[in-house]
Structure 1
């Protein structure tokens, strides 16, 4: 049915945009948490080293 083709492409585009958005958010927050935990470990090590 050629009438349904725009809806099909639209749903496909929305699906890929959603996947792309979720993947980017996962990457962003994963590296954000890694950097925070890394800095907290450095602070703890500096504190332990001084004592």
Structure 2
């Protein structure tokens, strides 16, 4: 079985890294976060100070 030349190993490494980066970027950018509640009700404490 013939050995692989170093340029073949380098091209294999580059192709694997490119596939890894494309896969991770597609997973990152395709994720959509949907919050459970669209409106958050906050109670405001209105304190009228009488000086």
TM-score bucket of the superposed structures, by smaller chain = 0.5 to 0.7
Gaps of 5+ in 1: 47-51
Q: How many correspondences in the alignment?
A: 37
- Aligned partner of 2:26 in structure 1 is 26
Q: Which runs of 5+ in 2 are unaligned?
A: 40-51
Q: Which has the higher helix share?
A: 1
Larger radius of gyration: 2
Q: Which runs of structure 1 show a deviation greater than 2 angstroms over 4 or more consecutive aligned residues?
A: none
| TM-score in terms of structure 2 length | 0.59
